[in-house]
Structure 1
Amino acid sequence: MSERLGLPSAVSIALGGMIGGGIFSVLGVVAKIAGARTWLAFVVAGVVALCAGYSYNRLNAVSGRTGGSVTFVQRYTNNTTVAGMVGWTLLFGYIGSMAMYAYAFGEYTVGVLNLRDVLGGAARPLVSALAVAFFVALNRMGARASGTTENVLVAAKMLVLLGFGALAALYGSSRGLLDYGFGGAVGIAPVVAAGVSFVAFQGWQLLFYDRGSIADPERTIPRAVYVAIPVAVLTYVLVGVTTTSLLTPAQIAQYGEVALAKAAEPVLGSLGYDVISVAAVVSTGSAINATLFSAAHFANGMTDEGVLPDRIADHADGDGVPQRTVLLLGIVTLGLTVYGTLDGITSLASVSFLVVFGAMSAIAFTERDADGVSPYPPLVGVLGAALLLPLLCYHLAAHEPKTFGFVVLSLAAVFVVELTYFERTRLARAAQRAEDRF
């Protein structure tokens, strides 16, 4: 891009990564768990994410160097294996996020065009796969939204969501339908749902991989993070309250991924469903595009750090797009979105980000004696991740064993591949010794 992005564009990038895909992808999943307290789940997850954002910003400021998760772990632990495993976990989280966006893209597209009547059960996986293939091709051609385009897209998404939220709140209030879930004991359901929804708050981290295109990044990125996360939380709260108030729990379970669009029907009729669905298609599509671009550059950065095989990454072309990396990320994303379930993909991505963001908060907490670093936000980030992660795993094991098995097997496979790669020299020596003996 010829011009550096200012604060509005930086906020748009962060919001686009969160609002763009998060609310349309995870609302139905979260609402099935938390019900009328869905808004509380988003608040809890947002607070933990904001503390992680603070930790990233302060680690950059204290070190005097720019960096992200892999850089921080390498710098503060001096352990390449640990840094690499954190990086691989984060990269897998991005792949899960793109698969989640593609899943939602497929569901909304199929609903708007009534493709299920023509293609049956293959409609959603086919559309999701085509979406991933399209955005892989788009990125390989070097196409990316400009700062102005990103601002317009995010403004349009926010207008649709806030407009729906305001109209739905008025509609529900006039009929006494609004339910904030204040009655009865709170329980742990909102906290469990916060763990599931955590993937919806990861978009702000994309800013740390776009530093080269942002004007005065040392000042602009922290400000953008501190603006974007609270705005996302408030948006999620508004939409969460109205959706769970206008739909019954049975309807939320029935409609699942498209619950947000169905919630617009009582207010605006079929027009409301179509408007929300079109906004979801545009939003999830742009989220795939932006995340794929940034994740590819993140993967190339891992190669530079020596924690990713050279064969996976490659040198970017004239437009700054790593061709081979984009293709490989797209292939893995396509497989995950076609064969995975939305609950499984969402939980898998959330686990990845909880692990990484919790680790970054822990590193920031160790730097609490440095100038300008408060111990409280990193501590909240660590405790929040330490609470949400086991509760999420317990919920999946107890109530969604198939999803839990999918998450465990996926993470185990990634761990084995990571360990094999980073310990390849030691394993080769052990194999050689065993061969010499026999």
Structure 2
Amino acid sequence: MSDRLGLPSAVSIALGGMIGGGIFSVLGVVARVAGTRTWIAFVVAGIVAICAGYSYNALNEVDDRTGASVTFVQRYANNTTLAGMVGWTLLFGYVGSMAMYAYAFGEYAVGLLGLHALLGPLARPLVSALAVAGFVALNRLGARATGTAENALVAAKMLVLLGFGVLAAAYGSSRGLLDSGLAGSLSVEPAVAAGISFVAFQGWQLLFYDRESIADPDTTIPRAVYVAIPVSVATYVLVGVTTTSLLTPAQIARYGEIALAKAAEPVLGSIGFTVIAAAAVVSTGSAINATLFSAAHFANGMTDEDVLPDRIALETDGDGVPQRTVLLLGIVTLGLTVYGTLDGITSLSSIAFLAVFGTMSALAFAERDHAAVNPLPPLVGAVGAACFLPLLCYHLAVHEPETFGFVVLSLVAVFVVELTYFQRTRLARVAKRAEDRL
């Protein structure tokens, strides 16, 4: 039992999955949409996320059998095809998250090392691709951070972000620069930005796939979820307010992905950029590694549920690392991070997680007559996700048509592959009848 992870380590896993890569990856994208109201977007997204977290915990309490997204749909909706499609959507969300982390890794590494002058426009895609390839190799070797290492890494990230936030807030306050964004008329931008930022709140779900390594998971996981999400929201709010107050909209648009590091320059000079950029490289790198490990094992579990082809997870090493799964996930991630845009990848991933978390909240709301379920959080989670999705799609269609096209084509491709796989038996019968008629 002593080798199993306690509450601090469980909180670290959840925080590492959210703050670890999220704030460095999505801040620039969200700030371009919401401006000084970025913090409102993070609060709204965090509320929906914690309601989804409540729904996951409640669904586990309703039935003594534990599980997560795929098993919840099989158990409560009694629909294997729908469960499989939810699993595939979630897996694609993880791939999108890794591509997003790799994109940010490349941007910060290039800015930190000055590689753009040497490699030009190839610098970011090349560094991102090398990062994905490197972490695929590490995972195929069975490398993964221990609970102690994860605690130390998350503590270091939190120290850097909170240190920057406090210093930047003091700097901005002393110069009258802090802007809450509350002045002026109401607008829909914070809600749209909340939908875009949702991918930054998905890391807590990884706890449900690490149950076997967590001590007293029925108690520890809910507590970790309810600690990690508010801490993430508070950190995002602090960093969001200071960044959007210290940089003009034009600067945010110009610097985009590395806006957070640029916001540190007025406060700490060039050393501020270096510290934030270095923290971003370490954070996004560890986020790629952790998500790849968990996504591979999640995919392996899907083969056990017969909702993913067995051939994908045939090869494992002595530590149970699904070699072929890691490689396939890495290839798709590499293609997405090299050829996609950060706006497109972020939006695509957020849509995937909104769809899955909204579905889980709806399932929990359907069980509202059970004593373990308070209907309000699942209702908020389901309605919130249902509102974010059309707002996000409308914003992309009107303001970012190229990104919208990328998202639509990607979702259609995923849906066609899912449908083809789950209807393969029926399609084979149809093809056989057609062949017999010839």
- Cα distance between partner residues in 2 of 1:355 and 1:315: 31
Give the aligned partner of residue 211 of structure 2: 211
Query: What is the letter of the counterpart of residue 30 of structure 1?
Result: V
Q: Does 1:250 find its partner at 2:254?
A: no
Give the aligned partner of residue 407 of structure 2: 407
Residue 321 of structure 1 aligns to a residue in which SS? coil
- Cα distance between partner residues in 1 of 2:401 and 2:314: 39
- Cα distance between partner residues in 2 of 1:25 and 1:119: 22
- Cα distance between partner residues in 1 of 2:192 and 2:408: 17
Residue 311 of structure 1 aligns to a residue in which SS? helix
Query: What is the letter of the counterpart of residue 86 of structure 2?
Result: V
User: 1:17-56 maps to which residues of 2 (within 5 A)?
Assistant: 17-56=17-56
Q: Structure 1 residue 318: deviation in Å? A: 1.9
User: 1:73-152 maps to which residues of 2 (within 5 A)?
Assistant: 73-152=73-152
Query: What is the letter of the counterpart of residue 154 of structure 1?
Result: V
Residue 5 of structure 2 aligns to a residue in which SS? coil
User: 1:379-390 maps to which residues of 2 (within 5 A)?
Assistant: 379-390=379-390
Give the aligned partner of residue 229 of structure 1: 229
1:285-310 Cα shifts (integer Å, max 9, x gaps) = 00000000000000000000000001
Give the aligned partner of residue 193 of structure 1: 193
Give the aligned partner of residue 61 of structure 2: 61
Q: Does 1:303 find its partner at 2:284?
A: no
Give the aligned partner of residue 329 of structure 2: 329
- Shift in alpha-carbon separation, 1:65–1:315, aligned structure 2, 3 A: farther
Q: Does 1:317 find its partner at 2:317?
A: yes
Q: Structure 1 residue 2: deviation in Å? A: 7.6
- Cα distance between partner residues in 1 of 2:318 and 2:364: 36
Give the aligned partner of residue 292 of structure 1: 292
- Cα distance between partner residues in 1 of 2:382 and 2:208: 20
Q: Structure 1 residue 313: deviation in Å? A: 1.6
The two structures have a TM-score, normalised by structure 2, of 0.99
Q: Structure 1 residue 317: deviation in Å? A: 2.3
- Cα distance between partner residues in 2 of 1:201 and 1:244: 20
Q: Structure 1 residue 177: deviation in Å? A: 0.1
The two structures have a TM-score, normalised by structure 1, of 0.99
Q: Structure 1 residue 377: deviation in Å? A: 0.1
- Cα distance between partner residues in 2 of 1:335 and 1:165: 34
- Cα distance between partner residues in 2 of 1:251 and 1:419: 44
Query: What is the letter of the counterpart of residue 276 of structure 1?
Result: I
Give the aligned partner of residue 167 of structure 1: 167
- Cα distance between partner residues in 1 of 2:148 and 2:239: 26
- Shift in alpha-carbon separation, 1:2–1:286, aligned structure 2, 3 A: farther
Give the aligned partner of residue 429 of structure 1: 429
- How many residue pairs get aligned? The number is 438
Q: Structure 1 residue 197: deviation in Å? A: 0.2
Residue 67 of structure 1 aligns to a residue in which SS? coil
Give the aligned partner of residue 358 of structure 1: 358
Query: What is the letter of the counterpart of residue 147 of structure 1?
Result: G
Query: What is the letter of the counterpart of residue 102 of structure 1?
Result: A
1:372-402 Cα shifts (integer Å, max 9, x gaps) = 2100000000110010010000000000001
- Cα distance between partner residues in 1 of 2:316 and 2:222: 27
Q: Structure 1 residue 312: deviation in Å? A: 1.1
- Cα distance between partner residues in 2 of 1:264 and 1:46: 25
Give the aligned partner of residue 339 of structure 1: 339
Query: What is the letter of the counterpart of residue 253 of structure 2?
Result: A
- Cα distance between partner residues in 1 of 2:291 and 2:67: 18
Query: What is the letter of the counterpart of residue 185 of structure 2?
Result: A
Residue 20 of structure 1 aligns to a residue in which SS? coil
1:93-128 Cα shifts (integer Å, max 9, x gaps) = 000000000000000000000000000000000000
1:43-65 Cα shifts (integer Å, max 9, x gaps) = 00000000000000010111111
Residue 313 of structure 2 aligns to a residue in which SS? coil
- Cα distance between partner residues in 1 of 2:206 and 2:17: 8
Query: What is the letter of the counterpart of residue 116 of structure 2?
Result: R
- Cα distance between partner residues in 2 of 1:316 and 1:301: 13
Residue 311 of structure 2 aligns to a residue in which SS? coil
Give the aligned partner of residue 275 of structure 1: 275
Q: Structure 1 residue 214: deviation in Å? A: 0.6
After TM superposition, what 4+ stretches of structure 1 lie above 3 angstroms from structure 2?
A: none
1:2-57 Cα shifts (integer Å, max 9, x gaps) = 81000000000000000000000000000000000000000000000000000000
RMSD of aligned Cα (Å): 0.9
Runs (5+) with no aligned partner, structure 2: none
Moved more, 327-336 or 306-315: 306-315
Query: What is the letter of the counterpart of residue 29 of structure 1?
Result: V
Query: What is the letter of the counterpart of residue 117 of structure 1?
Result: A
- Cα distance between partner residues in 1 of 2:312 and 2:421: 13
Q: Does 1:13 find its partner at 2:13?
A: yes
- Cα distance between partner residues in 2 of 1:352 and 1:46: 16
Tell me the percent identity. Answer: 82
1:219-265 Cα shifts (integer Å, max 9, x gaps) = 00000000000000000000000000000000000000000000000
